[in-house]
Structure 1
Amino acid sequence: MDKTSNTSPSTTMLTFALSLFILHLITSTTTDASSPYTPTDYFLLDCGSSSSSTSADNRTWDGDARSKFSPPNIANTSSPSTAEEQNPAVTQVPFMTARLFPSQFTYTFPVSAGPKFLRLYFYPATYSGRDNSKSFFSVSAGSHTLLTNFSAFLTAAGTVPRQPFLIKEFVISVNYNQRLDIKFDPSPNSYAFINGIEIVSMPNNLYIRGPDYPIPQVSQQQPFTIDNTTALETLYRLDVGGNLVPGKDDTGMYRIWRQDDPYIYGQGFGQTPHRDVTIRYTNDTPEYTAPATVYTTSRTMGKHNSVNLNYNLTWIFTVDSGFTYLFRLHFCEILQEVTRVNQRVFTVFLNNRTADPEVDVIQLSGDNGVPIFKDYVVWVPLGDNRRSKQDLWLALYPNMDSKPKYTDAILNGLEIFKLNQSDGSLAGPNPEPVGTTPEAPYPKSPEKEDSGASSPVLAVVGGVIGGVLVVAVMGVLIFRRRRRVRDSGPSVAKSSWVPISVTAGTSTSTKTNASSLPSDLCRHFSISEIRSATRNFTDDFMIGTGGFGNVYKGYIDGGATTVAIKRLDSKSNQGAREFQTEIGMLSKLRHLHLVSLIGYCDDDGEMILVYDYMANGTLRDHLYKTENPPLSWKNRLQICLGAARGLHYLHTGAKHMIIHRDVKSTNILLDDKWVAKVSDFGLSKTGPDNVAQTHVTTVVKGSFGYVDPEYYRRQQLTEKSDVYSFGVVLLEVLCARPAIVTGLPKEQVSLAVWGRYCMRKGTIDQIVDPHLMGQIAPECLRKFGEIVDSCLRDEGIQRPTMSDVVWGLEFAIQLQDAAERNKISGGDWIGIVGCHTMLSPATDDDVFSGSKSSGTSTLESGRRSENSYAAVGVGSENVFSQIVDPKGR
């Protein structure tokens, strides 16, 4: 018979009120009364302990041995234990004791309705002689699965930076039953354990905000809502640019804010200014949103100049594939000089896609010292069968469209949450066993271990097989090393990337299951997805063709995202190697002026690349042989500047120098806002990897009319080879004619040679695009001609760097703007007529004889006087035979 059946309603109410009062007393004694938020529910359970203990942050933890939250038969269904390893980095409470479960075990907590923080504490040590690396188990909370076949040992080993313990934090909503069950379920032939459990309530609209707060989804038109049926796992919570903020210094919910240094990508870590300003919270950003110290520290791009346009401020985070993630970015302008709208404006990229094109913190907050936050949701698709985790990128880049005062970006704090899948699960796989050795192997899950016992015979057979495999692997490595030496030649017919046939029984598949392509950095598409996106490669969707093959317009993600799909032509002599190079290069690069690679497909022998769709096509599409209206001179200058910034990033902003090797007007794409993006990295090469090397020796590749003559003669590739090619592009932009026109007189066939000749003769106005007549200011044309002349010099050492080219183009734009303002105010405007003395005079023999000057570039030395033009000859007429194959790429 139920013992409570005779209890009166008044007695029940009195008991409930007394419980709440006691709970309030407990809460008030363990939380700071001055905290912005006081939790209604607050439980600290020291598992495996029989008494109360005080942790290093002065919080009181109750032992679970006699706790009302534990099941009555706790002594029969579990066992307490003390950690046998004492690690000085691990605080005593709650990590030194643990509760071990050989079978299913449930803790039950009476809580009020609403969202809660659930924190599970794990210290993977040895307990009661049991090796904790052999522990695998699942954990659920209510209807949500939090962990599946979880190994605390593997997960702790995979933390960045590595930690000897774990705190897994979840956000769980309790709806109506006012009870939270935490269930532990060991995997077969294993056991579960837990060191501590913490439950803290939170404000209702902190993270789970419901349909009244729609969140933008990256690359999706429909917003995302997080309601009380959604569970979250906290993956990262960072005080960006600051120091560790321990839980006791949080706003009453004991969140830990860590440093962001381990997640910064490359050398572009910017600066970390700190200002002791008063943070003024608002109704939209209450005081409990984040502690003030998060908002008084930040990471910015540093000095406010054009150098910041050459890189992204980027963080990289490892996440599980196949989940949706909530990013909360915290902002607060704390610099005294940033107080007005349009002073610091920047773009936010997530997973190589634009999450927010324009963030102006002052515009959003209204004033300096007022904090705000912005939420974004991004879906991370499943990777291939070999990789279950991916790197997710967050990048900030200055948005200069509205010409803000500063070239900068800022971030103060960051929180990243994983959202549960449709089945309610948050469980991801254990980290990959990276860095294992035979002496210290990573453990295997009991579900994957062989059930049969080993024997001496099996050991001998295994040893023999292992020895044979070692010899075979050594042979393959030697062969591959020799092959790499031979493969430095021009042939790409035999590629190291080929579809691998996998035989199972009598069936054969040609899918590339063994492909080593980086699906963790870009999305892997199946051929069925690609066919669906292009309506089976219908001609109606074809938007271009090239040496690689056809390019199609496509629609992915249910038609919400428009993409460009480049499909390798099986008859093309440019194939597998360039396909792999393109993915390997572009998947690791993030920049506003580089085309974004979304993913690839390597199914059924196909080699397909998927990019962001560039609505305005190639630069050449708007210069000549086109029905498109001509671009204005100002538009052309901005496009040239954007492309130059993209190339400069390749040369200096990436981890290793990258030489594009195929810069031309068809490889500069224009998006719907006419932003230039460098594309096609199939021929790209990594530059010298140490300062002692000045070049990379390689066979000549590129496109006829654009190839650096010094590279052609010596087969020595440098970043100055890209500079030469870009100089040809600048002439294309100015003159609106192809790089090579074979039907013209000999001296006019090459645009590079003919353009320099006209500039030296002072007759450049005779070959300028007629559509530009009257648009170009004389000062701007003079500066532009200086840049072109410097880029096209015969010897690479005399050419400017791309940084100098960027500066020169910025200066040319300033000259054009100043001249236009002067014209509007009544000044004299002579157009390009009369600009016949651009460069120092030279004879025809100087230009076409291949004579060389010992002078250096007026740009490469760094901002010399405009009047210091050096007279330099160009290469011989052998430049016309730069590539044996006249078709080029």
Structure 2
Amino acid sequence: MFAYTIPFFCVLFFSTTPTTQPYKATDRVFLNCGSSTTSGSSSKSNSDQRWEGDEHSKFVPSNIHTTSFSSVPDDLDSSVDDLPYSTARFFRTSPFTYTFPVSSQGPKFLRLHFYPTNYIHHNTYNDLNTEQSFFSVSTNGYSLLTNFSAFFAAAFLAKTHSSAGINIPHVPRVVKEFLIYVKDTQILNVTFTPSRNSLAFINGIEIVSVPENLYFKDKGLKYVGMNNRPVIDNNTALENIYRLNIGREQISVKDDTSMYRSWDQDNNYVYGAANGLTTTYHSPIMYTKETPNYTAPELVYQTQRSMGNQSDKHNLTWILPVDSGFYYLLRLHFCNIIPQYTKEGDVSFRIFINNQTVEQEADVFHWTQGSGYPVYKDYIVFVNDTEGRRSIQDLWLAMHPNPSHEESGDAYLNGLEVFKLSMNNSVAGPNPEPSFTTTPTVSPNPDFGFWTNKQKTPYVVIIVGIAEALVFLSFLAFIVFKRRRQAKHYSAADDRSSARCRRLSLKEVKAATDEFNDSFVIGKGGFGKVYKGCMNKATTIVAIKRLDSSSRQGFQEFRTEIEMLSKLRHVQLVSLIGYCDDGGEMILVYDYMAHGTLREHLYNTSKPPMSWKKRLDICIGVAKGLHYLHSGGKRAIIHGDVKSTNILLDENWVAKLSDFGLSKLCSEDQSKKHVSTGVKGSVGYTDPEYCWTQQLTKKSDVFSFGVVLFEVLCARPVIDAGLRDEQVNLAEWGKACHRKGTLLEIIDPKLSGEIAPGCLRKFGDVASKCLHEEGSERPAMEEVVWRLEFALQLQEDAEKVDGPKTIDKNQELSSII
């Protein structure tokens, strides 16, 4: 994850016990799988959960001893609870079903506990290796997990937490939590089905009833950028993906409102580091009928993360990896506890989900009766399969002070819950990509494939050691060979960063383009021709860029493109599917962008004119993409070649930055904010300060983007030698017209009558500021984003009042510009 500094307040206080009684669950089942005893003691967290062993339980079938067996961990990490992780039940080749009668129909939490480590079989000296355990779990007609690996899930969890500096056990436990609506049968079945040549296992199962209207309801839902509107009713299953206590430590299950929910800290999901102030608030939380006391524990509403009323504004952002191809419910919990805010209008902020605005003016005082009153808001968003297959994508939640309320420059959040909604009766997603390079081999015999005999370990170690030595020597020889050929081409197989894109054979690429048939050509750039092709048996349309032998670009740009795009995933960046370096070729394969380049829709084209609001949306999208690149701290990226032909438009007119061949990583030395390099780029877009100093900075991208803004507004080439001297360079001409108040005279004639005066004034301000001669005086891309969003808001506000505003060229221009 990229990081940047966000100022915030971590606010905490202690209040009295709520006056109303907490929720009491009617169903509470805690099954300790693999255990033969009923435990009356508490777990290490001192919760009141009392775990019952499943060995002689009424919830298991009579053939439990022939279809499954119990086991204990070889070594239980000291930081992992004894209950339910000190025992496990393993299932052999056939499905195994637990049957749980419940007291009434309604929503129930179903939690599955896994501790993926080595286990000892009671009757042998052998170990069971859960690295090779793959299985599926279903309940009452819903698929919860498919070919699931608890080991992969734990490895992904460990990687996520360790990258944020959070200490967790060497082998973390995994808890999968689901919300199932039990209908009139009043039975909840949980079935474990081992994958072929594999075993399934489980450490613990929880079932806890949930208030009827807490999650299963349609009222109050806001849908984010979608036409299809899924409902959350008794035919929907949900999986909890995140439950975060914003701004403070984890809240354990014993401190929840009798539903045993665990609220994790949000530190490892915040986009950037932060420091701030703390404040104490001594009044109790005032729950209401709309937000009853079981909604979230007081500790959630007693803490928050806030931007603070600072002059240097950043988005307050959380990045949440989720499975693509599903709808998600995001529940945002708010409670004003900052003393200086006392009334409506004191603080107003915007809320964005996946770069889409969901609240223009979020004012917690407008939603509640005052300080100390909690409230939550629900939003549903769909996460697309951007890679053409189910994968893990980043879900973004961001907040920013409302730019139209400069005096209320703050934003805050207290808690966050994220749920995946079932699609076709399934919430099952793919396993996370393993962090290692080889997948464990599964033996053909399921009864022996997981077992390693301790008495044979020395031989295994010797064999493995020899194999590893051979692999290492082969790898060393390969590196030497590739370095000798490096001047010719680059194989991304040497670079770990290429793991997210695929190496293609020349045969595959030729098949996709009919042997590079010119009828497939859809464009030509500095790298070479671009072809439209079909891959995966004609199911995937791609854009294929082939290096031309006459191109000034070459190996270095090819390598940089792979290095950069294989590390990056963002809705505003084009996705790199794969590359080919066979036979001396250098070929890059991308997602196909149905609407081509931005320039194709501006001038020298037969395409229909693009509306002003669509142009403005595209500019905002590009700005967000550049902000993402620039906000990576030590891994911040300078694009280096921002121009209208490197801005692509997909079938939904979503703008995506492309062509990273000239991109550079910023220095890790924070005192050195530039990259020294020979001047490269495109005439008319290149930062003049970069030309003088040969020092490329983030502000060089800002300058190029400013040129694009004027290009979008005026719909003319950035260099036009056929015009008068002062008009040849669009950047200089645009700045001069803005300065003189004559910007209206040079806008695209096709936009006549479309642009509201306030919007034009703000847009011209942003473009001119981006083109300041001194890079230090140009705004950061984050500021550019919210200023452009403010311009869009001014346009929309004007249209609500009068419809699209017609601008008369004869009116006094100084009143507009």
Q: What TM-score, normalized to structure 1?
A: 0.62
More displaced, 597-606 or 147-156? 597-606
Partners of 2:342 and 2:595 in 1: how far apart?
37
Q: CA RMSD in A?
A: 6.3
Q: Deviations over 1:756-785 (max 9, x none)?
A: 9989xx999899849999x999x9999999
Partners of 2:78 and 2:407 in 1: how far apart?
50
Select the residue among 281, 285, 288 that pairs with 1:281. 288
Corresponding residue number in structure 1 for 2:208: 200
Tell me by how many angstroms 1:259 deviates: 1.0
Corresponding residue number in structure 2 for 1:366: 367
Corresponding residue number in structure 1 for 2:179: 171
Partners of 1:653 and 1:682 in 2: how far apart?
19
Partners of 1:132 and 1:58 in 2: how far apart?
31
Q: Deviations over 1:190-216 (max 9, x none)?
A: 65544332211223344444xx56977
Corresponding residue number in structure 2 for 1:222: 228
Tell me by how many angstroms 1:518 deviates: 6.8
Corresponding residue number in structure 2 for 1:294: 300
Corresponding residue number in structure 2 for 1:96: 86
SS of corresponding position for 1:294: helix
Q: Is the 8 A contact 1:331 1:373 kept in 2?
A: no
1:645-664 equivalences under 5 Å are 650-652=629-631, 656-664=635-643
Are residues 1:45 and 2:45 paired?
no
Counterpart amino acid of 2:668? D
Counterpart amino acid of 1:107? Y
Counterpart amino acid of 1:51? T
More displaced, 148-157 or 681-690? 148-157
Partners of 1:734 and 1:380 in 2: how far apart?
33
Partners of 1:34 and 1:219 in 2: how far apart?
39
Select the residue among 125, 129, 134 that pairs with 1:133. 129
Are residues 1:238 and 2:244 paired?
yes
Q: Unaligned regions of 5+ residues in structure 2, if any?
A: 1-17, 162-167, 510-515, 534-539, 795-810
Distance 1:87 1:549, change over 3 A: closer
Tell me by how many angstroms 1:428 deviates: 4.3
Tell me by how many angstroms 1:721 deviates: 4.1
Distance 1:686 1:425, change over 3 A: closer
Select the residue among 156, 163, 175 that pairs with 2:154. 156
Partners of 1:153 and 1:770 in 2: how far apart?
59
Select the residue among 249, 265, 270 that pairs with 1:264. 270
Corresponding residue number in structure 2 for 1:28: none
Select the residue among 243, 251, 255 that pairs with 2:261. 255
Tell me by how many angstroms 1:587 deviates: 7.7
Tell me by how many angstroms 1:313 deviates: 0.9
Q: Is the 8 A contact 1:524 1:599 kept in 2?
A: no
Identity over aligned pairs, percent: 36
Are residues 1:378 and 2:383 paired?
yes
Distance 1:462 1:53, change over 3 A: closer
Partners of 2:119 and 2:521 in 1: how far apart?
62
Q: Is the 8 A contact 1:668 1:676 kept in 2?
A: yes
Distance 1:246 1:611, change over 3 A: farther
Tell me by how many angstroms 1:742 deviates: 3.6
Tell me by how many angstroms 1:637 deviates: 11
Select the residue among 45, 49, 59 that pairs with 1:59. 49
Partners of 1:707 and 1:169 in 2: how far apart?
52
Q: Is the 8 A contact 1:313 1:395 kept in 2?
A: yes
Partners of 1:676 and 1:243 in 2: how far apart?
38
SS of corresponding position for 2:313: helix
Distance 1:72 1:250, change over 3 A: same
Q: Is the 8 A contact 2:329 2:421 kept in 1?
A: no
Q: Is the 8 A contact 1:644 1:806 kept in 2?
A: no
SS of corresponding position for 1:93: helix
Q: Is the 8 A contact 1:642 1:677 kept in 2?
A: yes
Partners of 1:782 and 1:179 in 2: how far apart?
64
Distance 1:475 1:167, change over 3 A: same
SS of corresponding position for 1:278: coil
Counterpart amino acid of 2:187? R
Corresponding residue number in structure 2 for 1:114: 106
Counterpart amino acid of 2:317? L
More displaced, 799-808 or 736-745? 799-808
Partners of 1:809 and 1:73 in 2: how far apart?
63
Partners of 2:763 and 2:259 in 1: how far apart?
62
Tell me by how many angstroms 1:683 deviates: 2.9
Partners of 1:208 and 1:630 in 2: how far apart?
42
Partners of 1:637 and 1:186 in 2: how far apart?
52
Q: Deviations over 1:343-376 (max 9, x none)?
A: 2122211xxxx55543544489722643333333
SS of corresponding position for 1:307: coil
Distance 1:619 1:342, change over 3 A: farther
Tell me by how many angstroms 1:403 deviates: 6.1
Q: Is the 8 A contact 2:520 2:532 kept in 1?
A: yes
Corresponding residue number in structure 1 for 2:805: none
Counterpart amino acid of 1:95? Y
Partners of 1:757 and 1:344 in 2: how far apart?
31
Q: Is the 8 A contact 2:88 2:203 kept in 1?
A: yes
Q: What TM-score, normalized to structure 2?
A: 0.67
SS of corresponding position for 1:159: helix
Distance 1:345 1:567, change over 3 A: same
Distance 1:629 1:434, change over 3 A: closer
Q: Unaligned regions of 5+ residues in structure 1, if any?
A: 1-31, 437-441, 488-493, 501-513, 531-536, 555-562, 818-828, 836-889
Distance 1:604 1:728, change over 3 A: closer
Q: Deviations over 1:355-411 (max 9, x none)?
A: 554354448972264333333343546767xxx752432231538586676455544
Partners of 1:139 and 1:786 in 2: how far apart?
58
Partners of 2:764 and 2:174 in 1: how far apart?
64
SS of corresponding position for 1:255: coil
SS of corresponding position for 1:233: strand
SS of corresponding position for 2:109: strand
1:274-423 equivalences under 5 Å are 278-283=285-290, 285-303=291-309, 305=311, 307-308=313-314, 311=315, 313-317=317-321, 319=323, 324-334=326-336, 335=338, 336=341, 339-340=344-345, 343-349=348-354, 354=355, 356-358=357-359, 360-362=361-363, 366-367=367-368, 369-380=374-385, 389-398=391-400, 406=408, 409-420=411-422, 422=424
SS of corresponding position for 2:680: coil
Q: Deviations over 1:449-505 (max 9, x none)?
A: 699999999999998876554334223324555666xx6xxxxxx65369x9xxxxx
Q: Deviations over 1:10-31 (max 9, x none)?
A: xxxxxxxxxxxxxxxxxxxxxx
Q: Deviations over 1:795-840 (max 9, x none)?
A: x7xx6454499699979x99xx9xxxxxxxxxxx98679x9xxxxx
Select the residue among 729, 734, 740 that pairs with 1:751. 729
Q: Deviations over 1:245-271 (max 9, x none)?
A: 222222221111111112233447999
SS of corresponding position for 1:332: strand
Partners of 2:426 and 2:625 in 1: how far apart?
43
Partners of 1:672 and 1:404 in 2: how far apart?
36
1:570-719 equivalences under 5 Å are 573=551, 585=564, 595-597=572-574, 600=577, 607=588, 609-610=590-591, 618=598, 650-652=629-631, 656-664=635-643, 681-691=660-670, 695-708=674-687, 711=690, 716-719=695-698
Q: Is the 8 A contact 2:403 2:787 kept in 1?
A: no
Distance 1:34 1:167, change over 3 A: farther
Select the residue among 492, 496, 500 that pairs with 2:490. 496
Higher relative contact order (CA 8 A, sep 6+): 2
Q: Is the 8 A contact 1:117 1:201 kept in 2?
A: yes
Counterpart amino acid of 1:313? T
Are residues 1:182 and 2:190 paired?
yes
Q: Is the 8 A contact 1:326 1:375 kept in 2?
A: yes
